[in-house]
Amino acid sequence: MSEHIVPVSLYIGIFVALLCLTALTTGVAYIDLGAFNTVAALAIAVVKMLLVVLFFMHVKYSGRLIQVFILAGALFLAILITLTLADELTRHWSPTPTGWGMFVPFLSRLF
Amino acid sequence: MSTATIDVPEVPTGSRVNYLNAQYGVKSWLFTTDHKRIALLYLVSITLMFFIGGFFAVLMRLHLIEPQGALVQPETYNKLFTMHGVIMVFFFLVPSIPATLGNFLVPLMIGARDLAFPRLNLISWYIYVVGACFTLYAVISGGVDTGWTFYTPYSSSFSHTSVIPTAVGVFITGFSSILTGLNFVVTIHKMRAPGMTWFRLPLFIWAIYATSIIFILGTPVIAITLFLLALERLLHIGIFDPAIGGDPILFQHLFWFYSHPAVYIMILPGMGVMSELVTCFSRKRIFGYSFVAFSSLSIAIISFLVWGHHMFVTGQSIYAGLIFSVLSFLVAIPSAVKVFNWTATLYKGSISYDAPMLYALGFIGLFTMGGLTGLFLASLATDVHLNGTYFIVAHFHYIMVGGAVMAYLGGIHFWWPKITGRLYPDGWARFAALVIFVGFNLTFFPQFMLGYLGMPRRYAVYPAEFQVFNVMSSAGASILGIGYLIPLIYLTWSMRYGPAAGPNPWGAKGLEWTTPSPPPTENFEEIPVVTEDAYDYAESTVNRG
């Protein structure tokens, strides 16, 4: 539980980095990357989140137990997203039933 | 209740000053940081909410005596079941055992003087009260009619009732849960007495620890979900409404990601209470300590993987449904481990039928029924028939009322002498336990049959052929209501007039029974050193007194 002393210069450095990444997000928004628009925005957001968690929230200097709890939070967020996508991405796999009409071509061949 | 003083020979003279009489006055309660006093603040608040929520249930059951409805307009009926659900789930069941018994017992059981963050503990109660006030305001300002699940797009686009105040109330109260969970996790990790290793902890602590993990990991998601709901309702941002680019099933995913684990928030602490009751009143060690301990943790983890079983028929992909069905069956394993281990603990035990034990035995039977009917609902095909019927209503009331509330009452009766230093009339307590058991089954067993026969839930009217079962259910509800009032009366009576309890009236094991009743403010004269395993009933005979 010992307090880790972090130099102020590091905090300022992280703050500047966060500002730069915010500017980058804004800049990227003006470039059309197609399917990668969201990917790019999320990737920058994750980097910013890591900087805040590791340095501002002192997780980099904390004990193992705290790091395990932080990772558990990330793991459960991953579960939320994965299982929700398991629904979202497979919803259109099954053909939509169109009533008895779907049997008409099949039946008309028989008779 | 602060005026209950203990001045009887059973209490050692040195410990007459206890947490109840150390200070007097309203301020000494409202600004206390003593975990025991905060537990009592919670106890009073959730009891009030329980009876408000119960009042709505009584009105509902009275209404359903006649097929065309006997009491209220259909719109009012919709509000009754919504407010019953919201109040009972978020303001009674979720905080019930953790915030009262958990707050009182966690430091006492692990041999600590208080929780790790006493002021955080107090603020969590204030947050709870503020949240409850918002929700009660919603009740007074016309009520809300979305059902406790707030399903979109009805809640976001169509309902003209007080959705936002209710959601704000639930949102705020969530922070109270998070702070309570955080406090417990840190306390259990950092403040155990010397010799109190993880595998010497009472199983109640393991259960509270598992519950705290769900509090911390799950509650933020419901807060975000309700926030998004409010955003869409107020600013028409397309999140859940398909007309503006949203996805209504996304709401259900986010909602149930918290609200299914929330079911385990309700039942896991009850399971912890059960392990204490079954061992004490059968005078035996728990059968398979580590299995029971780890089953709590595995229930907490698996509970986050099963939420889609609420959505089999609401438009979720069938493939996701398959996965969720299989995962849901997995929860049955640790739950069954617990039930079998309690039963094995009873085997060849020296069983006594005191009031807390009656609740515990009731729990085993009712929880088993509630759990097994859950398997019907986890199966994709039977769920198509049973979903949205009274079968569901009966199933989750067997878990939440037959399980969680029975365990809560069992726990309150077990630790009441420790909390107040007074004994309650045992005959009345046993009688009330029986009344509750009978009333509960008469209320909810007919609902299984109603649901199987196809009566949908949440309807203000029903076909005449269902009337017999509905009248049985309403009759049971009135018995159940009286069953809940009896303990309210004799427990309140006992605070002033009950005979004084010794430090250990049940002859139970555990650190909380080694300190006087009621405990002194600092819990222990000296921090105890633990040298034996939990539930060490076999080696020594503990005298009651």
Beta carbon pairs, A and B, within 8 Å: 55
Residue B147 falls in which region: left (phi positive, over 0), alpha (psi -120 to 50) or beta: left
Chain A residues touching B185 at Cβ < 8 A? 69
Predicted-complex ipTM score:
0.86
Q: What angle, 0 to 180 degrees and rounded to 10, lies between the N-to-C axes of helices B35-63 and B406-420?
A: 140
What's residue B176's pLDDT?
96
What's residue B170's pLDDT?
95
Is A19 touching B (CB cutoff 8 A)?
no
Instruction: Identify residues of B whose CB sits under 8 angstroms from chain A CBs.
Output: 185, 189, 213, 216-218, 221, 247, 249-250, 253-254, 257, 304-305, 307-308, 311, 315-320, 323-324
Same domain, A31 and A72: no
Residue A5 falls inside a structural domain: yes
Same domain, A8 and A32: yes
Cβ neighbours for A100, distance < 8 A, ≥ 6 positions apart: none
Partner residue facing B308 (CB), from A73, A83, A93: A83
What's residue B539's pLDDT?
53
Which residue is associated with the tokens 């079962």?
B469
**What is the token pair recorded at A50?**
């890591």
Which of A39, A57, A75 delimits the end of a domain? A57
Same domain, A13 and A45: yes
Same domain, A1 and A52: yes
Partner residue facing B217 (CB), from A76, A90, A91: A76
Same domain, A53 and A71: no
Chain A residues touching B209 at Cβ < 8 A? none
B257–chain A nearest CA distance, Å: 7
Same domain, A30 and A14: yes
Same domain, A17 and A38: yes
What's residue A106's pLDDT?
76
A83–chain B nearest CA distance, Å: 8
Write the DSSP string, B24-73: -SHHHHHT---HHHHHHHHHHHHHHHHHHHHHHHHHHHHHTTSTT-SSS-
Chain A residues touching B189 at Cβ < 8 A? 65
Phi, psi (degrees; rounded to nearest 5) at B157: -120, -25
B253–chain A nearest CA distance, Å: 6
**The residue count for chain A:** 111
What's residue B133's pLDDT?
95
Same domain, A74 and A29: no
What's residue B123's pLDDT?
97
**The residue count for chain B:** 545
Enclosing domain of residue A83: 62-90
How does pLDDT run across B258-273, given as a tens digit for each residue?
A: 999 999 999 999 999 9
A110–chain B nearest CA distance, Å: 32
Is the CB of B324 less than 8 angstroms away from the CB of A83? yes
Same domain, A79 and A34: no
- Rounded CA-CA distance B304/B222 in Å is 13
What's residue B300's pLDDT?
94
Same domain, A31 and A5: yes
Is A88 touching B (CB cutoff 8 A)?
yes
CATH superfamily for B35-514 is Cytochrome c oxidase-like, subunit I domain (1.20.210.10)
What's residue B112's pLDDT?
96
Same domain, A26 and A66: no
Is A74 touching B (CB cutoff 8 A)?
no
**What is the sign, positive or negative, of the torsion defined by CA atoms of B217, B218, B220, B224?**
positive
Same domain, A73 and A50: no
Closest CA to B391 of B467, B332, B444: B444
**Which residue ranges of chain B lie beneath pLDDT 70?**
1-15, 539-545
Asked whether residue A4 carries a pLDDT value surpassing 80, the answer given is no
Is A109 touching B (CB cutoff 8 A)?
no
Chain A residues touching B313 at Cβ < 8 A? none
Q: Which three-class secondary structure string do you get for chain A?
A: CCCCCCCHHHHHHHHHHHHHHHHHHHHHHCCCCCCHHHHHHHHHHHHHHHHHHHHHCCHHHCCHHHHHHHHHHHHHHHHHHHHHHHHHCCCCCCCCCCHHHHHHHHHHHHC
Residue A99 falls inside a structural domain: no
How does pLDDT run across A54-106, given as a tens digit for each residue?
A: 999 999 988 898 899 899 999 999 999 999 999 989 988 877 667 777 677 77
**What is the token pair recorded at B245?**
């680019």
Chain B residues touching A94 at Cβ < 8 A? 317-319
Chain A residues touching B315 at Cβ < 8 A? 91
Is the CB of B257 less than 8 angstroms away from the CB of A80? yes
What's the whole-model pTM score?
Answer: 0.91
The number of distinct structural domains making up chain A is 2
Is the CB of A94 less than 8 angstroms away from the CB of B253? no
Is the CB of B253 less than 8 angstroms away from the CB of A91? no
